[in-house]
Structure 1
Amino acid sequence: MITTPLRQRFAQPVLRPLWLALALFGLTLVSSISHAASPKPPIRLATTTSTEQSGLLGWLLPKFTQETGYPVLVMAAGTGQSLKMGENGDADLVMTHAPTAEKKFVDAGFGIEPAALMHNDFVIVGPRQDPAGIGQLKDAAKGLQAIKEQGQTFISRGDESGTHLKEQTLWQAANVTPEFAGYKSIGQGMGPTLTMASELGGYTLTDRGTWLAYQSKLNLAVLLEGDKRLFNPYQVILVNPKRYPDLNSDGARALKNWLVSAHGQQLIGAFKVAGQALFVADAKPLPTAKSQ
């Protein structure tokens, strides 16, 4: 785990995301720079792998850059790592999907102006023959309990992402400690986790967006869905410039406002894979204890 803020490691602010993505975390760097010599400084967006691996950001950000002139550097990691980048001042804004962790981030003064952006849901996927029999259930916690009791394989992201945090709450609800023989925590993003579950004939929890983007490549099926605990909301939050004066706060606010605008929301809702919408746009303010 990185303990020293990255802003103390690198002298050039614009280069920090490149080193962050490529040298330290091994994350995917997505650039929506469409103007080779943009007069506007890049915006550093720390976000979840689900927004990147689903293809959503590849759909949205080039349009944002074309319309505003701001290039965007995307650092895709788990929610925990994304929020840590915000805490360290190594991102200008965050886009994540773990409400409890996001509230702590804002209440501690690291984030400001949180806004609901969109939602989808989580689903539990597994082998089509469903040896654990979870396809007959409607309760996600009971589904996980059945996977354990039937001695089946479960692949966990294990990366402090929003998906991993949701999974942990479901194990708690099932009163199961996920330390059984078939439980494998791999510390990877959603795409690799789905791939491993497919290869091993195991189960996993996934956001529906990444599932829809990957399903044609996998020997898996959606087996449990619809539990209200599987609701998956995304927020966009500015990093507090009072903590780090050299943030690109103007660019970050421009991106946030664009995403929650009627135009941005229409584009989010229009993004589809194989004819299916991956996210439901629902920008509206969310209650928080503090905004500054």
Structure 2
Amino acid sequence: MSRMSAKPWQGMMRWLLAMFLSCFLIAPAAADEIRLAISAPLARSGLSAALISAMEEDTGISVRLRTVSPRRAAQLAQEGAVDAVLIDDRHLEEGLLRSGDGLRRREIMHSDFALIGPKADPAGIREAKSVRQALSAIAGRRAAFVSRGDGSQSNVRERALWSGAGLDPQADWYETVNAGMQATIEAAAEAEAYLIADRISWLRSEGRDGLAILFAEDPALRDQFTFVPVNPDTHEGVRSDLADRIEDWLVSDRAREIVETFKVEGRHVFTFDAVAQE
């Protein structure tokens, strides 16, 4: 082969070698990426941004985040479209374990819901000993109550609390607005009505004049956020090794410090309750 005819081949070989080395060098970064779905309240509060920034820094794992409803997060896990979820719906979490789509539940932190109403408190729920007693007092007085009525996770939770109290409010004092939490808070303020809201939305609301948190001291109002890694035996390509590392980080002292010092509108709203395994 002549020297002239060899040059194109030499150029081609150099190009192929460069492409090979480029792929080899880039591969580790792409390999250390986890697909994580979280509940919207974590993103809305701002806590997820603080956690993920520190998580990526400490672990070297890049997080591809999906902020969705708990129901959608569970669907993504069932499809193998994420490696783990961090959500606040125990029924869905346990469903993932029963179906074999999830490996385990690991409780990380919790916030809460609260019964909110007019500062005058016509139903007298401030003195209630339980959420069941508080809701019974509202129903007994036929005091105005506003519900989201939109089928959201928060709305489902509210309906479950009524059901747990043995009540099925359908009377004219119970109004559904088919709207998000902020609009529901504003509607309750306008109607001088009671409602159930998550604490984060309440603190962020600008239309709550005349309302106050009247009752929140009941475990039934706890909003637990739980980490569930997706089962790699059920879904090919799931990175359980990365999910394990993220789980270990979420129960670490660094994560605890971030959660316990995080505030919304100057108030602590999350309690860290993860226990590291020995």
Q: TM-score range by the shorter chain?
A: 0.7 to 0.9
Q: 1:116 to 1:131 in 2, by over 3 A?
A: same
Contact kept, 8 Å, 2:145 with 2:193, in 1: the verdict is yes
> Which residue in 2 is equivalent to 1:153?
145
Q: Which moved more, 1:218-227 or 1:125-134?
A: 125-134
Contact kept, 8 Å, 1:155 with 1:202, in 2: the verdict is no
What is the percentage of aligned positions where both structures have the same residue? 27
TM-score under structure 1 normalisation?
Answer: 0.72
Which runs of structure 2 are paired with 1:201-240 in the superposition (5 Å)? 201-212=192-203, 214-215=204-205, 218-219=208-209, 220-240=211-231
Q: 1:233 to 1:176 in 2, by over 3 A?
A: same
Give the counterpart of 1:243 among 231, 234, 239.
Answer: 234
> Which residue in 2 is equivalent to 1:257?
248
Cα deviation per residue 1:49-77 (whole Å; 9 max; x = unaligned)?
Answer: 22122221122222223332413313221
C-alpha distance in structure 2 between counterparts of 1:39 and 1:110, whole Å:
24
> Which residue in 1 is equivalent to 2:50?
59
C-alpha distance in structure 1 between counterparts of 2:157 and 2:151, whole Å:
12
Q: The residue matched to 2:103 in structure 1 has which SS?
A: strand
Task: Find out whether 1:90 has 2:81 as its counterpart.
Answer: yes
C-alpha distance in structure 1 between counterparts of 2:276 and 2:247, whole Å:
12
Contact kept, 8 Å, 2:80 with 2:236, in 1: the verdict is no
C-alpha distance in structure 2 between counterparts of 1:52 and 1:75, whole Å:
7
Contact kept, 8 Å, 1:81 with 1:160, in 2: the verdict is no
Give the counterpart of 2:107 among 113, 116, 127.
Answer: 116
Task: Find out whether 1:275 has 2:266 as its counterpart.
Answer: yes
Question: Given residue 72 of structure 1, which amino acid in structure 2 is its aligned partner?
Answer: R
> Which residue in 1 is equivalent to 2:19?
none
Equivalent residues, number: 245
Specify the structure having the higher radius of gyration (Cα): 2
Contact kept, 8 Å, 1:138 with 1:225, in 2: the verdict is no
Cα deviation per residue 1:75-132 (whole Å; 9 max; x = unaligned)?
Answer: 221x233222222223321112233432232122111132110123321112333343
Q: The residue matched to 2:104 in structure 1 has which SS?
A: strand
Q: The residue matched to 1:90 in structure 2 has which SS?
A: coil
Q: Which moved more, 1:275-284 or 1:199-208?
A: 199-208
Q: The residue matched to 2:238 in structure 1 has which SS?
A: coil
Cα deviation per residue 1:154-191 (whole Å; 9 max; x = unaligned)?
Answer: 22364352x44432332122221133332316264x45
Alpha-carbon shift at residue 41 of structure 1 (Å): 5.7
Q: 1:130 to 1:40 in 2, by over 3 A?
A: farther
Question: Given residue 265 of structure 2, which amino acid in structure 1 is its aligned partner?
Answer: A
Contact kept, 8 Å, 2:32 with 2:61, in 1: the verdict is no
Q: What value does the CA root-mean-square deviation take over the aligned residues?
A: 2.8
> Which residue in 1 is equivalent to 2:25?
none
> Which 5+ residue runs of structure 2 have no aligned equivalent?
1-28
Which runs of structure 2 are paired with 1:31-70 in the superposition (5 Å)? 39-40=30-31, 42-67=33-58, 68-70=60-62
Contact kept, 8 Å, 2:38 with 2:68, in 1: the verdict is yes
